[in-house]
């Protein structure tokens, strides 16, 4: 009975939902989950949003987030059920024997206290070490996790360090009390790929070094494959498949797992002829009114009916470039030519027809739609604004557009809150299409979506392009998406264009340093990829 | 198809020279606040002087009553210097005010500064003790309400404080007088203090007006404290604290309170300013010889130097207290205290 560090038996988790205008009802979030975790091993929990993976992870701390209740089953820590412990009893476990690493370390650290004090707080509160011992251990962990200036790192405040460093500091905070188990809840999801690989390596090294067991939660199978011994695939609160990491990646048994493994393998041939230019950006520089420059001398072009992918990390200036093209941010230097005609820099001076021809799709469809308007009103607005459509004609056209985006006219009177994330993004696409544009600027339209849903959106965009000859300027940080949809690619880094050209040329060697780093940092669906990538990096720096 | 592949991996120049404001954001912001407050005070002095000047009615006519012949009115105006241009008089008055000299009262001929000094002392005495009771009580009750959120203690605290804020202050004052002074006879009324009174006597005398003021300001501060802490409580770092196994009280004090300081200090400052400035009604109800009553008397006889002086002092209190709150909020922000 005491063989396993953590044994979860037949876990059932419920929450109360309050649908508007109806009596509250209990819904089951997780049901029938059982697994064992040995000392020092890592179990990956993988699934789409709503699969219940965070909820299961938090049950190891007997914690329910936002009114979620654990209503059945057992969570045995070294053979002892922690669920019936009560408030006081569970406190002796949280932060001492089981620790938690949140997705957003930036939010999970208290902005008012120094990092070092927060890292050792739980250890001191539980009386596990003296303050001097705890500080020494924190220093050791900062070193193990590869943080810069480990001896002074603890004196800094959360806002003074980068996102990747914060995520590592959060891991140090979890490891400080020498816990038996750590729950990692998507610790690298919010990071850039080039940062993700470092954090991933640091976490893997630290848990091996300290022989801590871990539950590793993520939606990215390629990431979890690098760090886990076993993987559990979850969907809608139920287990789909459980196996060793190797078996799940190389020989998935279930249809759903296979779909997850294959989701990002799509590749598309680029258009052969890239000469019929629709959009041309010439030597554009731009900055904010406080003098902070964001774009430096960017020149690129996009042929008619094709897709130009702009790749880069956060802060690389890719969204700013889109703002410059729309006219939201007039450039300080350079010009933009659209369909052979130079565009007026500022949005307000552009003609209504110029506005119509360039449309935008945002990352968060949620915040880009008025929650108090129906789908019909949202899509209908550009129809009356640009084409003066009204009444039955407008409604008929909205229904047509809803058919186009594979949703159907049944959605016309629904509100955004009643739609799923993928459906909202489809409505946003329909709204852009309603203007019958020649160019759609897509600003990371799939990065907030689950992989399978995102794939659906990409397929829709490609089909629409084939039918209407619309061009896309597609902003993304995801190389897999570039491979799937682009004709030409622009790589951006710190506001400068690093590399631009047809996809086959940009994604083929010889690479410049940054593109090389970017491409090598993208996790691949392969056991041992992390070690290989790190090794090749080391060799290069040794070679230099 | 031309080859447009470009390669350049040079980072852009980031070594732009940093301005003073970027290097010392805290000092810069505080200096800004001080400067703004001074400017605001100056603007208020213009408004007060101009406003009083524009008031209908005239001291000379009011003072002389039925014997106000044009000649007598002109004589008095000349005596008071009212025949000189307004700008000259303004700068004379401002110059005196900066040195603490507000001129002489038209009605009594005494020095305004001297009279106000005593009155202001009384007002501050009352405000101070009302604040000493109400601020810790409000913050404590707010924390207690958060701790027992949506349970009976929270609801009782909310209902009682809401009731207190809903009643007009003079009504609370009369209720307190009825119960404690008339029925139970354990408090004194009227609450008039004299120079000859001892400290303990004074405290006993101001018990009722101070209690009234506490009731009036308590609810606002308490509810803001509760709201500020609750909004902090829903943040991810509070979940972090809970998952570290910290006790609820420790999490509230160590992790929630430091981040709730700014909104709480702001509402406390507003209420402290109210305690000094807004007590006119309470002073009148309790016949308390403070600034409020002094100003009301001066307005009825058009005694302009007194009205102006009171107005300027009230404004100064309001501005200074809010400035202090602003500065505390700035200092409490770790992003400003410890720049990158």
The pLDDT > 70 percentage for chain A reads 98
Average pLDDT over residues B92-107: 84
Predicted confidence band of residue A541 (pLDDT cuts 50, 70, 90): low
pLDDT(A230) > 50: yes
Average pLDDT over residues A287-304: 87
Chain segment B131-156, per-residue pLDDT in tens: 999 999 998 898 888 888 888 988 99
pLDDT(B160) > 50: yes
Which is higher by pLDDT, A192 or A306?
A306
Fill in the DSSP letter of residue A94. B
- Of A139-148, A341-350, A354-363, B105-114, where does mean pLDDT reach its minimum? B105-114
How close, in Å, is residue A505 to chain B by CA atoms?
Answer: 7
If we measure between CA atoms, which residue out of A259, A221, A305 comes closest to residue A455?
A: A259
- Of A87-96, A266-275, B45-54, B266-275, where does mean pLDDT reach its minimum? A266-275
Looking at residue B26, its pLDDT comes to 81
Looking at residue A292, its pLDDT comes to 80
> What residues of A are in contact with residue B7 (Cβ under 8 Å)?
498-499, 512
Looking at residue B19, its pLDDT comes to 63
b/e map B93-115, b = 16+ CB within 10 Å: beebbeeeebbbbbbeeeebbeb
Chain segment B214-223, per-residue pLDDT in tens: 988 888 888 8
Minimal-distance CA residue of chain B relative to A100: B243
Shared domain for A232 and A369, answered yes or no, is no
How close, in Å, is residue A114 to chain B by CA atoms?
Answer: 9
Predicted confidence band of residue B17 (pLDDT cuts 50, 70, 90): low
Shared domain for A324 and A457, answered yes or no, is yes
CB-closest option in A92, A501, A513 to B5:
A501
pLDDT(A422) > 80: yes
DSSP letters spanning B232-272: HHTSHHHHHHHHTT--HHHIIIIIIHHHHHHHHHHHHHHHH
Looking at residue A50, its pLDDT comes to 78
How close, in Å, is residue B223 to chain A by CA atoms?
Answer: 23
The pLDDT > 90 percentage for chain A reads 52
What are the residues facing A232 on neighbouring strands? A45, A242
How close, in Å, is residue B224 to chain A by CA atoms?
Answer: 20
Shared domain for A324 and A203, answered yes or no, is no
Cβ distance of A505 and B338 shorter than 8 Å: no
> What residues of A are in contact with residue B334 (Cβ under 8 Å)?
111-112, 157, 159
CB-closest option in B236, B245, B332 to A96:
B245
Cβ distance of A100 and B240 shorter than 8 Å: yes
Cβ distance of B243 and A100 shorter than 8 Å: yes
- Which are the contacts of A26, defined by CB distance < 8 A and separation ≥ 6? A14, A15, A16, A17
How close, in Å, is residue A302 to chain B by CA atoms?
Answer: 12
Cβ distance of A500 and B259 shorter than 8 Å: no
Cβ distance of A107 and B235 shorter than 8 Å: yes
Chain segment B280-330, per-residue pLDDT in tens: 788 888 888 888 888 888 888 788 888 888 889 889 988 999 899 888 888
Minimal-distance CA residue of chain A relative to B335: A159
Q: How many CB atoms lie within 10 A of CB A486?
A: 26
Looking at residue B3, its pLDDT comes to 42
Cβ distance of B3 and A501 shorter than 8 Å: yes
Cβ distance of B235 and A91 shorter than 8 Å: no
Write the CA distances from B46 to B43, B54, B94, B312, B336, integer angstroms.
5, 12, 9, 10, 34
If we measure between CA atoms, which residue out of A59, A31, A515, A36 comes closest to residue A313?
A: A515
Chain segment A64-82, per-residue pLDDT in tens: 887 789 999 999 999 899 9
Cβ distance of A91 and B247 shorter than 8 Å: yes
Looking at residue A380, its pLDDT comes to 94
Predicted confidence band of residue A173 (pLDDT cuts 50, 70, 90): very high
If we measure between CA atoms, which residue out of A262, A288, A168, A195 comes closest to residue A477?
A: A195
Residue A536, domain member (yes or no) = no
Maximum mean pLDDT: which of A240-249, B174-183, B265-274: A240-249
Looking at residue A244, its pLDDT comes to 94
Looking at residue A110, its pLDDT comes to 93
Q: How many CB atoms lie within 10 A of CB A51?
A: 24
Minimal-distance CA residue of chain B relative to A290: B19
Q: What is the C-alpha separation between A541 and A517, in angstroms, rounded?
A: 12
Cβ distance of A110 and B246 shorter than 8 Å: no
pLDDT(A348) > 90: no
Average pLDDT over residues A305-320: 89
How close, in Å, is residue B35 to chain A by CA atoms?
Answer: 23
Chain segment A440-474, per-residue pLDDT in tens: 999 999 888 888 888 899 999 999 999 999 999 99
CB-closest option in B1, B16, B338 to A160:
B338
Instruction: Specify whether the CB–CB gap between B21 and B28 falls below 8 A.
Output: yes
Residue A544, domain member (yes or no) = no
Cβ distance of B10 and A496 shorter than 8 Å: yes
Shared domain for A338 and A409, answered yes or no, is yes
Chain segment A80-116, per-residue pLDDT in tens: 999 998 888 999 999 999 999 998 888 899 998 999 9
Looking at residue A63, its pLDDT comes to 92
Cβ distance of B244 and A122 shorter than 8 Å: yes
Cβ distance of A159 and B10 shorter than 8 Å: no
Chain segment A462-511, per-residue pLDDT in tens: 999 999 999 999 999 888 889 889 999 999 998 999 999 999 899 888 88
B→A contacts (Cβ < 8 Å), by residue, are 1, 3-12, 16, 235-237, 239-247, 250, 254-255, 258-259, 332, 334-335, 338, 340
ipTM of the complex: 0.78
Per the structure, how many domains does chain A have?
2
Residue A533, domain member (yes or no) = no
> What residues of B are in contact with residue A513 (Cβ under 8 Å)?
9
pLDDT(A401) > 50: yes
Residue A526, domain member (yes or no) = no
* Chain A contact probe: residue of B6, B234, B262 with most A CBs at under 10 A: B6
Predicted confidence band of residue B173 (pLDDT cuts 50, 70, 90): confident
pLDDT(A522) > 90: no
Shared domain for A19 and A95, answered yes or no, is yes
Average pLDDT over residues A346-357: 89
> What residues of A are in contact with residue B232 (Cβ under 8 Å)?
none
Could you say which of A235, A265, A295 is where a domain stops? A265
Instruction: Specify whether the CB–CB gap between B176 and B184 falls below 8 A.
Output: no
Looking at residue B4, its pLDDT comes to 39
Shared domain for A308 and A170, answered yes or no, is no
Residue A523, domain member (yes or no) = no
Residue A530, domain member (yes or no) = no
* Chain B contact probe: residue of A60, A65, A105, A110 with most B CBs at under 10 A: A110
Residue A115, domain member (yes or no) = yes
pLDDT(B10) > 60: no
* Chain A contact probe: residue of B15, B149, B245 with most A CBs at under 10 A: B245
> What residues of A are in contact with residue B5 (Cβ under 8 Å)?
499-501, 505-506
Looking at residue A9, its pLDDT comes to 93
DSSP letters spanning B74-141: HHHHHHHTTTS-HHHHHHHHHHHHHTT---B-TTT-SBHHHHHHHHHHHHHHHHHHHHHHHHHHHHHH
Chain A and chain B share a number of CB contacts under 8 A equal to: 114
Shared domain for A240 and A302, answered yes or no, is no
> What residues of B are in contact with residue A102 (Cβ under 8 Å)?
236, 239-240
Q: What share of chain B is helix, strand, coil (3-state, %, to 5)?
A: 75, 0, 25
Could you say which of A201, A231, A265 is where a domain stops? A265
Chain segment A177-204, per-residue pLDDT in tens: 999 999 999 888 878 888 888 888 888 9
Predicted confidence band of residue A283 (pLDDT cuts 50, 70, 90): very high
Which is higher by pLDDT, B281 or B44?
B44
> What residues of A are in contact with residue B246 (Cβ under 8 Å)?
91, 95, 121-122, 125
Predicted confidence band of residue A133 (pLDDT cuts 50, 70, 90): very high
- Which are the contacts of A350, defined by CB distance < 8 A and separation ≥ 6? A327, A343, A344
pLDDT(B85) > 70: yes
Maximum mean pLDDT: which of A271-280, A425-434, B318-327: A425-434
Mean pLDDT over each residue of chain B, to the nearest integer: 83
> What residues of B are in contact with residue A86 (Cβ under 8 Å)?
none
Cβ distance of A93 and B245 shorter than 8 Å: yes
In terms of residue numbers, what domain contains A151? 6-265
Looking at residue B340, its pLDDT comes to 67
Task: Evaluate the omega torsion of the peptide bond into residue A346 and state whether it is cis, within 30 degrees of 0.
Answer: no
Hey, what domains does chain B have and what are their CATH numbers? 112-337 (1.10.3720.10)
Shared domain for A223 and A282, answered yes or no, is no
Shared domain for A153 and A70, answered yes or no, is yes
Residue A522, domain member (yes or no) = no
Return the CATH number at A221. 3.40.50.300
What are the residues facing A474 on neighbouring strands? A309, A442
Shared domain for A246 and A320, answered yes or no, is no
Question: In this structure, are strands A42-46 and A213-218 parallel, antiparallel, or unpaired?
Answer: parallel
> What residues of A are in contact with residue B15 (Cβ under 8 Å)?
none
Could you say which of A233, A265, A297 is where a domain stops? A265
Minimal-distance CA residue of chain B relative to A119: B244
If we measure between CA atoms, which residue out of B17, B154, B19, B102 comes closest to residue B311?
A: B102
pLDDT(B210) > 80: yes
CB-closest option in B1, B245, B334 to A122:
B245
Shared domain for A331 and A351, answered yes or no, is yes
Mean pLDDT over each residue of chain A, to the nearest integer: 89
Looking at residue B24, its pLDDT comes to 77
b/e map A142-180, b = 16+ CB within 10 Å: bebbebeebeebbebbbebbebbbbbbbbbbbbbbbebb
The pLDDT > 70 percentage for chain B reads 93
> What residues of B are in contact with residue A94 (Cβ under 8 Å)?
242-245
Predicted confidence band of residue B16 (pLDDT cuts 50, 70, 90): very low
Per DSSP, the three-state class of A218 is strand
Minimal-distance CA residue of chain B relative to A275: B1
Cβ distance of B4 and A501 shorter than 8 Å: yes
CB-closest option in B5, B259, B334 to A499:
B5
Q: What is the C-alpha separation between B112 and B21, in angstroms, rounded?
A: 43
Shared domain for A358 and A493, answered yes or no, is yes
């Amino acid at each position: 009975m005491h063989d396993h560090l953590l044994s979860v038996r037949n876990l059932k988790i419920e929450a109360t939902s309050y649908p508007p205008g109806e009596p509250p009802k209990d819904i089951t979030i997780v049901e029938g989950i059982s697994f064992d975790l040995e000392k020092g091993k890592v179990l990956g929990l993988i699934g789409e949003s709503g699969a219940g993976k965070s909820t299961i992870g938090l049950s190891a701390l007997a914690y329910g987030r936002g009114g979620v209740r654990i209503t059945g089953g057992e969570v045995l820590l070294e053979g002892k059920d922690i669920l019936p412990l009560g408030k006081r009893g569970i406190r002796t476990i949280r932060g001492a024997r089981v620790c938690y690493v949140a997705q957003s370390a930036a939010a999970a650290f208290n902005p008012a206290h120094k990092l070092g004090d927060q890292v050792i707080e739980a250890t001191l509160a539980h009386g596990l070490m003296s303050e001097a011992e705890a500080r020494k251990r924190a220093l050791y962990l900062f070193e193990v996790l590869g943080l810069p200036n480990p001896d002074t790192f603890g004196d800094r405040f959360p806002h003074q360090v980068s996102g990747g460093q914060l995520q590592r500091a959060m891991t140090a905070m979890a490891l400080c009390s020498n816990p038996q188990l750590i729950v990692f809840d998507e610790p690298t999801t919010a990071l850039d790929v080039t940062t993700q690989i470092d954090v991933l390596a640091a976490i893997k090294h630290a848990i091996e070094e300290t022989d801590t067991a871990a539950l590793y939660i993520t939606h990215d199978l390629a990431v979890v494959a690098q760090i886990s011994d076993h993987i559990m695939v979850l969907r809608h609160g139920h287990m789909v498949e459980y196996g060793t990491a190797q078996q799940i990646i190389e020989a998935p048994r279930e249809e759903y797992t296979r779909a997850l493994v294959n989701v990002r393998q799509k590749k598309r041939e680029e258009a052969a002829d890239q000469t019929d230019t629709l959009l041309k950006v010439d030597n554009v520089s731009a900055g904010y009114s406080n003098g902070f420059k964001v774009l430096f001398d960017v020149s690129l072009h996009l042929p008619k009916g094709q897709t130009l992918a702009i790749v880069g990390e956060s802060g690389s200036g890719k969204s700013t470039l889109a703002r410059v093209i729309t006219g939201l941010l007039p450039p300080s230097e350079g010009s933009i030519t659209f369909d052979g005609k130079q565009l007026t820099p500022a949005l307000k001076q552009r003609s209504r027809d110029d506005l119509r021809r360039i449309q935008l799709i945002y990352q968060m469809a949620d915040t880009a739609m008025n929650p108090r308007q129906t789908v019909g009103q949202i899509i209908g607005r550009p129809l009356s604004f640009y084409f003066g459509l009204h009444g039955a004609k407008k409604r008929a056209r909205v229904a047509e557009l809803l058919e186009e985006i594979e949703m159907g006219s049944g959605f016309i009177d629904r509100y955004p809150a009643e739609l799923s994330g993928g459906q909202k993004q489809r409505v946003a696409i329909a709204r852009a299409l309603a203007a019958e544009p020649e160019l759609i600027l897509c600003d990371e339209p799939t990065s907030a979506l689950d992989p399978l849903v995102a794939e659906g959106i990409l397929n829709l965009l490609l089909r629409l392009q084939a039918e209407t000859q619309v061009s896309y300027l597609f902003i993304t940080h995801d190389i897999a998406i570039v491979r799937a949809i682009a004709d030409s690619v622009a790589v951006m880094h710190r506001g400068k264009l690093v590399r631009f050209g047809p996809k086959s040329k940009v994604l083929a060697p010889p690479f410049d340093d940054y593109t090389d780093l970017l491409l090598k940092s993208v996790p691949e669906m392969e056991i041992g990829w992390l070690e290989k990538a790190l090794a090749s990096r080391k060799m290069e720096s040794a070679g230099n | 198809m031309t080859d447009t592949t470009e390669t350049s991996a040079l980072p852009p120049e980031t070594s732009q020279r940093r301005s003073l404001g970027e290097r010392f954001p805290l000092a810069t912001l505080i200096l800004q606040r001080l400067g703004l407050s001074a400017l605001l005070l100056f603007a208020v002095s213009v408004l007060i002087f101009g406003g009083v000047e524009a008031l209908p009615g005239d001291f000379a006519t009011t003072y002389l009553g039925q014997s106000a012949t044009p000649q007598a009115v002109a004589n008095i105006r000349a005596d008071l210097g009212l025949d000189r241009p307004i700008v000259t008089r303004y700068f004379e008055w401002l110059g005196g005010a900066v040195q603490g000299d507000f001129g002489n009262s038209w009605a009594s001929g005494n020095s305004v500064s001297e009279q106000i000094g005593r009155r202001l002392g009384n007002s501050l005495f009352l405000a101070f003790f009302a604040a000493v009771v109400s601020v810790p009580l409000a913050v404590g009750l707010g924390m207690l309400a958060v701790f027992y959120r949506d349970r009976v203690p929270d609801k009782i605290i909310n209902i009682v404080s809401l009731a207190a804020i809903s009643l007009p202050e003079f009504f609370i004052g009369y209720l307190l007088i009825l119960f404690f002074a008339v029925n139970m006879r354990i408090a004194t009324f009227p609450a008039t203090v004299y120079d000859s009174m001892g400290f303990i006597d004074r405290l006993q005398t101001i018990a009722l007006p101070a209690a009234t003021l506490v009731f009036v300001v308590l609810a606002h501060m308490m509810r803001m404290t509760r709201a500020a802490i609750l909004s902090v409580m829903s943040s991810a770092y509070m979940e972090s604290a809970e998952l570290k196994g910290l006790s609820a009280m420790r999490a509230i004090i160590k992790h929630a309170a430091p981040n709730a300081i700014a909104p709480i200090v702001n509402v406390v400052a507003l209420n402290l300013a109210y305690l000094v400035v807004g007590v006119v009604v309470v002073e009148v109800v309790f016949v308390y010889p403070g600034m409020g009553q002094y100003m009301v008397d001066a307005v009825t006889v058009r005694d302009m130097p007194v009205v102006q002086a009171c107005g300027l002092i009230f404004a100064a209190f309001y501005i200074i207290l809010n400035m202090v709150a602003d500065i505390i909020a700035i200092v409490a922000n770790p992003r400003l205290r410890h720049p990158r």
